[in-house]
Chains A and B, each alone.
Chain A
């Protein structure tokens, strides 16, 4: 049903005026985004279930050797990498969400639209059920399988969409993604049901693993995310052109299909890497770009970099809440992003009268 809702609103070309007019105060919002992100990171480093005083934290940041080694190790091995990973994951999901919305000219597109999450979950489930505890070249096989699964699902959806509609419109591609996701979900559920021993592990993998993250996780995703974000940022002007229509892009001497393919590959690569390490975190890819649009207007030139900043800040705050609300127990971060994110988005939408949607 939710999926059908995606099609109830036909893709609509943006009014040209929205593109020609300057975005509302982009630099001011960029500065605000940077401040919010910095504030979120500071908060994320300062608070945690292990009570470490403000002075100790500051001292540990400047001269770790002067602090109690146990506390320094909590900060440097656990809390700080988790905040850094939150920045990376949030930035990636929000940027990928904006990119997908641009590439598909569909406001309900999110990074999981073409089956990235379903693919990652299937890959990880297979690895947990049939190759538990194994590793490949020193890397745990589970995130690797998640990454491959996500990439395979999106590639499959792309190939399927192409054979069906030749990619003349995006509807065929989206439908192919929906079909692939349903198919992968079915296989994943079947394996999960037949392997009752590993249910808990599969479940906690899907809910996300920021809990166990360390620098290793950061290093694992960083190259993919940097590459992905760089490519999307370079294509943000073309996404603006694409939002008017494929013809507009073609008239610039550029293939709309090619732009779409590059953006989708880049966004998928980053999303797959992030999902492989953090699990499926919902709503960030939808709520953040739309909030940014409501604040600054629709131009992707501005929406994409600002989504990156606000997405990072949002996820760091959500993760801080995830470890503080029920401390010392953890809440699944996806619960926080949806529980806080959805009402916040509704408030923003109401207060701005949804003009930019």
Chain B
């Protein structure tokens, strides 16, 4: 109830701010300053109040970093964690989001910290130093991702940019989805996270992307007890014979069409026979930020081609 209520408040504040701000403004305007203080309920359900527009943001989340730069709040970011490798001009440091060190973070004198999880007493520790922490957990679908962009917009006084980004993502997504003809045959996809066959079900963000493209995810065959990221049996993958294999382990494990084709028994898979083994950037496929559209655009031609072949 409470969460819902605050979410509504943020929306209301956003609407007002959008109206006040007008279209894109790259420098924080007076209306953006007037927008503070703002209270935001992070995706973990905890609310955080930001008193004035932050200019020393520390991001411990690679996705949040991408979102912050995409909504033009990059100039307000002073440090990002060791996983935030995009965009290239993000001020990458040795800070860790997995094992956050409160002192190391505090040494940047941040006025806002964004993280994926409240690990190692992050919120409590920084709270003692009066540093607000906004938690944006892994999104499970596009709506949650848009919500995080909006929240980061509200938190940084970049409401208009956030709204514009969300709008662009929505229209780009719709365009990609519309470009794919309805296939007569249900196409199957196998998404590979590493070379021991860990995969992702439709309950995950990346799984939602496949659902949008009308693909059947073979990882959904796994029981719920196996979790959202089950390790699949090789013989199940081979016998499912997916039409598309997406390799999100090109960086970690150097996988590609030829390494996949060389695996015992895998040469009989439809995707391997047809060469529909798509290598993608591990990072893009594991984040829920704006670059997911690059992923979609890389995937769409393959799905289109397969759909036309089936028709």
Stretch of B67-75, B159-167, B227-235 contacting A (4+ beta carbons < 8 Å): B227-235
Q: What 1/0 mask marks residues of chain A from 200 to 216 whose CB sits below 8 Å from any chain B CB?
A: 11001100010110111
Chain A nearest Cβ from B129, distance in angstroms:
25
- Which A residues are in CB contact (< 8 Å) with B263? 212, 214
By the criterion CB–CB under 8 Å, are A330 and B233 in contact?
yes
B174 at the interface (CB under 8 A from A): no
* Residues from chain A with Cβ under 8 Å of B252 in the complex: 132, 197-198, 200-201
Q: Are A204 and B194 in contact (CB under 8 A)?
A: yes
Q: Are A132 and B194 in contact (CB under 8 A)?
A: no
**Interface pair B264/A215, CB less than 8 Å apart:** yes
Beta-carbon contact of B222 and A74 below 8 Å: no
In the bound complex, do residue B198 and residue A200 qualify as a contact, i.e. CB atoms below 8 Å apart? yes
Does B144 reach chain A (CB closer than 8 Å)? Answer: no
Instruction: Assess whether B225 is in contact with A211, with CB atoms less than 8 Å apart.
Output: no
Stretch of B15-23, B120-128, B236-244, B291-299 on the interface side: B236-244
What per-residue 1/0 map shows which CB atoms of B76-112 lie under 8 Å from chain A?
0000001100000000000010110000000000000
Q: Judging by beta carbons under 8 Å apart, are A328 and B222 in contact?
A: yes
Task: Please determine whether A49 and B98 come into contact, CB atoms closer than 8 angstroms.
Answer: no
A261 at the interface (CB under 8 A from B): no
**Count of residues in B whose CB is under 8 Å from the partner chain:** 37
**Judging by beta carbons under 8 Å apart, are A77 and B223 in contact?**
no
Across the interface, B233 reaches (CB within 8 A) one of A209, A214, A216, A328, namely A328
Please indicate which of the listed interface residues A48, A81, A211, A212 has the most CB atoms of chain B within 10 Å of its own CB.
Answer: A211
Interface residue range, chain A: 35 or more
A212-B197, A326-B222 given as contacts; is B253 within 8 A of A74 (CB)?
A: no
Interface check B195, CB cutoff 8 A? yes
A74 B238 Cβ-Cβ under 8 A: yes
Scan A317-337; emit 1 where CB is below 8 A from any B CB, else 0: 000000100111110000000
Residues on A with C-beta less than 8 A from B223 are 326-327, 329
A152 to chain B minimum Cβ distance, whole angstroms, is 25
* Contact of B235 (CB < 8 Å), options: A50, A196, A201: A50
Residue numbers in A under 8 Å from B82 (CB-CB): 196
Chain B residues, Cβ within 8 Å of A51? 239
- A265 to nearest B CB, angstroms? 31
- B233→A211 contact, CB < 8 A: yes
A326's nearest neighbour on chain B, judged by CB, is B226
Contact between chains at A328 and B236 (CB < 8 Å): yes
CB-based nearest A residue for B94 = A194
Contacting residue for B238 out of A50, A193, A201, A327, CB 8 A:
A50
A73, B268: Cβ atoms under 8 Å?
A: yes
Residues of A within 8 A of B196 (CB): 201, 204-205, 209, 211-212
Chain A contacts for B238, CB-based, 8 A: 50, 70, 73-74, 78
In the bound assembly, the distance between CA atoms of A328 and B235 in angstroms comes to 9
Q: Is the CB of A74 within 8 A of B96?
A: no
The reply on B58 being an interface residue by CB < 8 A is no
| Residues in B27-55 with C-beta less than 8 Å from chain A | none
Closest Cβ–Cβ distance, residue A160 to chain B (whole Å): 32
Q: At the interface, yes or no: A21 with Cβ under 8 Å from chain B?
A: no
B254 located at the interface, meaning its Cβ lies under 8 Å from any Cβ of chain A in the complex: yes
Question: Which residues of B have CB within 8 Å of A253?
Answer: none
Q: Which of B83, B231, B253 contacts A211 (CB 8 A)?
A: B231
A69 is an interface residue with CB less than 8 A from chain B: yes
Contacts of B233-275 to chain A: CB distance below 8 A: 233-236, 238-241, 251-254, 263-265, 267-268
Chain B 125-136 interface 0/1 with A at a Cβ cutoff of 8 Å (1 = within) = 000000000000
Task: Please name all residues of chain B whose beta carbon is closer than 8 Å to the beta carbon of A10 when the two chains form the complex.
Answer: none
Chain B residues, CB < 8 A from A52: 239
Cβ contacts B203-231/A at 8 Å (1 or 0 each): 00000000000000000011101110011
Docked complex Cα distance between A7 and B193 (Å):
43
B193 engages A200 (CB within 8 Å)? yes
Contacts of A193 in B (CB 8 A): 98-99
A211 closest partner in B (C-beta): B196
Interface centre among B223, B227, B230, B233 (most CB of A within 10 A): B233
Residue of A with least CB distance to B282: A197
Q: How far is the CB of A60 from chain B (nearest CB, A)?
A: 13
Contact with B236, one of A197, A215, A327 (Cβ below 8 angstroms) = A327
**In the bound complex, what is the Cα–Cα distance between A200 and B196 (angstroms)?**
10
Whether B239 lies near A74 (C-beta < 8 A) is: yes
Decide if A260 is an interface residue (CB 8 Å cutoff).
Answer: no
Task: Find chain B residues with CB under 8 A from A323 CB.
Answer: 233, 235
Instruction: Report yes or no: B239 in contact with A196, Cβ–Cβ below 8 A.
Output: no
Q: Is the CB of B235 within 8 A of A329?
A: no
Interface positions of A from 124 to 150, Cβ below 8 Å from B: 132-133
Q: Is the CB of B235 within 8 A of A70?
A: no
23 contacts between A and B (CB under 8 A): A48-B235, A49-B236, A50-B236, A50-B239, A70-B238, A70-B241, A73-B267, A74-B239, A74-B265, A196-B83, A200-B193, A205-B196, A323-B233, A326-B230, A328-B222, A328-B240, A329-B222, A329-B223, A329-B227, A329-B231, A329-B233, A330-B232, A330-B233
Counting from the closest, the 6 A-B pairs by CB-CB distance are A133-B254, A329-B226, A214-B264, A50-B239, A328-B236, A77-B265
- Give me the interface of B with A, judged by CB distance under 8 Å: 82-83, 96, 98-99, 193-198, 221-223, 225-227, 230-236, 238-241, 251-254, 263-265, 267-268
Q: Other CB < 8 Å A-B pairs besides A48-B233, A196-B98, 8 of them?
A: A73-B238, A76-B265, A78-B264, A132-B254, A197-B251, A204-B194, A327-B233, A327-B236
